Amino acid sequence: MKLDKRDYDAVIVGSGPNGLASAILMQQNGLSVLLIEGKEEIGGGLRSAELTLPGFMHDICSAIHPLALASPYFKTLPLANYGLEYIQPTIAAAHPLDGGTAAVLLQSIGDTARLLGKDEVAYKSLMQSVTTNWPLIDADVLGPLHFPKDPLALAAFGLKALPPATLLAQQFATREAKALIAGMAAHAMQPLSNVATSAIALVLMATGHLGGWPIPKGGSNRIANALASYFTSMGGQIETGRYITSLDQLPSAHAVLFDVSPKQLLQIAGHKFSSIYKWQLERYRYGMGVYKIDWALDGPIPFTADACRRAGTIHIGNTFEEIRNAEQQTANGKHPDKPYVLLAQQSLFDNTRAPKGKHTGWAYCHVPNGSTKNMTDIIEQQVERFAPGFRDLILGRHTMDSEQMEAYNPNYIGGDINGGVIDIGQLFTRPVLRASPYTTSAKGLYLCSASTPPGGGVHGMCGYYSAKKALKDIFDMKIERL
């Protein structure tokens, strides 16, 4: 296909993991590609900085990366050659309970199941089939609606994934197993009674068993830096410090892919869209926000449960019922007194994160979208509840409410780090109901952010599928399926 002369074949706006994935796939196929980032540093949610005290390196947004390691597209890239090194915590995730016990996610299904006592058989039955089938369905689950590579395997997963987490938990008898399900499903940032909340729990547990929940050595920015280095090694160009608010600011290109939210896309290119497409984008729904804290600590967090002292990720919230109630309250616009808290302790395993003998802590809780309530004391009470003496170790802290999260990364509308609600109404039809969710109503303009399938997470699959569609539409290139 012969195309007229442009400055670039493709321009990518936004350098989050999806923007980087889009840029790489197009550059791999011999196109001239420019990646534009509004901040002075690339990465979107993949950035790290000394937020509290000198020598303490904190992940500003994402921290633990099971989906980055499991991503069908990232797996094909030689990122280790560009400085990316993953560290596997001794225990992927732990879930403390009142009384000093904890449920844990270990890489072995058998070891995880044995620690669940009377639920050993039920857990094995649930997870063995999911992990066996995962390599056959990963690119389909982490993608748009299309004919799957293995329909039977995907159907088997769907039967387990589509019910609400409240129903999935009923398969288990122990409070440990039920709590483990709750902590995993709460990553969905919606009520656990919603359809398909089991899906996120199953995906996170399967990736934990198959590859672990790794920490990038040195900080989450190392993932972005490796992706960018690979991109530029092939001839791709990156321009930072150029915040795009209008199409007039862009060089000419045959295709422009936007790693932005629907709200931003309307601001930049809304005048190019049909009235129906604009109407759909304006009705796109954003979900819960987050309130985040980073701590500089004088020592490791003194969790009562030994397993929590050896885990990279901690799900704080006690029982299934307590987490279910907290998430429902948040969805109803309230701030629970005992919220679900997602906590990471990278410095236990990565000694580049803090001065010798010191540690970092990373945590957030869910809040109503756009909330500016200070949740510091409430979050720290929850940590102290399972780690008495924690507050005595705090040397410094840095907090961000949901408005500040959006100011930092404009894709996080109201603090929604998932790029929009990932409920059944927006699971595959995000941001709108179209034959391809990545195309807009304007020829040559595409959306590649977490507001497209499969949604939030550091996996680059939104960017991969968007670039794949643009390559077919504009450049008549068909990319083989992963």
Q: How far apart (Å, rounded) are the C-alpha atoms in residues 458 and 346? A: 17
CATH number at residue 301: 3.90.660.50
Q: Are residues 119 and 186 in the same domain?
A: yes
Whether residues 369 and 312 fall in one domain: yes
Q: Is the same domain home to 311 and 328?
A: yes
pTM, to two decimals: 0.97
User: What mean pLDDT is predicted for residues 9-37?
Assistant: 98
Residue 373: give the domain boundaries.
Answer: 86-214+287-408
321 with 363, same domain: the answer is: yes
* Residues 179 and 325 reside in one and the same domain: yes
Kindly state whether residues 209 and 146 are assigned to the same domain. Answer: yes
- Does residue 175 sit in the same domain as residue 96? yes
Residue 59 lies in a domain: no
Mean pLDDT calculated for residue range 12-34: 98
What is the C-alpha to C-alpha distance for residues 124 and 113, in angstroms, rounded to an integer? 6
Q: Classify residue 367: in a domain, yes or no.
A: yes
296 part of a folded domain: yes
Same domain for 367 and 327: yes
Percent of the chain past pLDDT 90, that is, above it, reads 98
pLDDT at 3 over 90: no
Q: What gap in Å lies between CA 442 and CA 238, rounded to an integer?
A: 25
Asked if the model's pLDDT at residue 340 lies above 80, the reply is yes
- Which of 364, 392, 408 is the last residue before a domain boundary? 408
146 and 39 in a single domain? The answer is no
* 63 occurs within a structural domain: no
The pLDDT, as a whole number, for residue 245 is 97
Task: Taking residues 9-18, report their average pLDDT.
Answer: 98
| Per-residue pLDDT reduced to its tens digit, 160-219 | 999 999 999 999 999 999 999 999 999 999 999 999 999 999 999 999 999 999 999 999
54 within a domain of the structure (yes/no) = no
State the average pLDDT over residues 410-420. Answer: 97
Looking at the fold, whether 111 and 227 belong to one and the same domain comes out as no
Number of domains in the chain: 2
Which of 408, 433, 460 lies at the terminal end of a domain, its last residue? 408
Q: Is residue 344 part of a domain?
A: yes
User: What secondary structure, in 3-state letters, does the chain show?
Assistant: CCCCCCCEEEEEECCCHHHHHHHHHHHHCCCCEEEECCCCCCCCCCCEECCCCCCCCEECCCCCCHHHHHCCCHHHCCHHHHCCCEECCCEEEEEECCCCCEEEECCCHHHHHHCCHHHHHHHHHHHHHHHHHHHHHHHHHCCCCCCCCCHHHHHHHHHHHCCCHHHHHCCCCCHHHHHHHHHHHHHHCCCCCCCCHHHHHHHHHHHHHHCCCCEECCCCHHHHHHHHHHHHHCCCEEECCCCCCCHHHCCCEEEEEECCCHHHHHHHHHHHCCHHHHHHHHCCCCCCEEEEEEEEECCCCCCCCHHHHHEEEEEECCCHHHHHHHHHHHHCCCCCCCCCEEEECHHHCCCCCCCCCCEEEEEEEEECCCCCCCCHHHHHHHHHHHCCCHHHHEEEEEEECHHHHHHHCCCCHHHCCCCCCCCCCCCCCCCCCCCCCCECCCCCEEECCCCCCCCCCCCCHHHHHHHHHHHHHHHCCCCCCC
Is the residue at 66 inside a domain?
no
- 286-301: average pLDDT: 98
Q: What distance separates the 2 farthest-apart alpha carbons in the chain?
A: 69
Which residue reads 């991109």 in tokens?
A: 231
Band of pLDDT at residue 428, cut at 50, 70 and 90: confident
pLDDT digits (tens, 9 = 90+) for 75-99: 999 999 999 999 999 999 999 999 9
What's the pLDDT at 1? 59
Residues 275 and 331 in one domain: no
Q: Per residue in 220-254, pLDDT tens? A: 999 999 999 999 999 999 999 999 999 999 999 99
- Quote the mean pLDDT of the chain: 97
Average pLDDT over residues 26-49: 97
454 in the same domain as 314: no
Residue 58 counted as domain residue: no
Picking from 380, 408, 436, the residue at the C-terminal end of a domain is 408
Would the pLDDT of 141 be above 70?
yes
User: Any idea what the CATH number is for the domain that residue 23 is in?
Assistant: 3.50.50.60
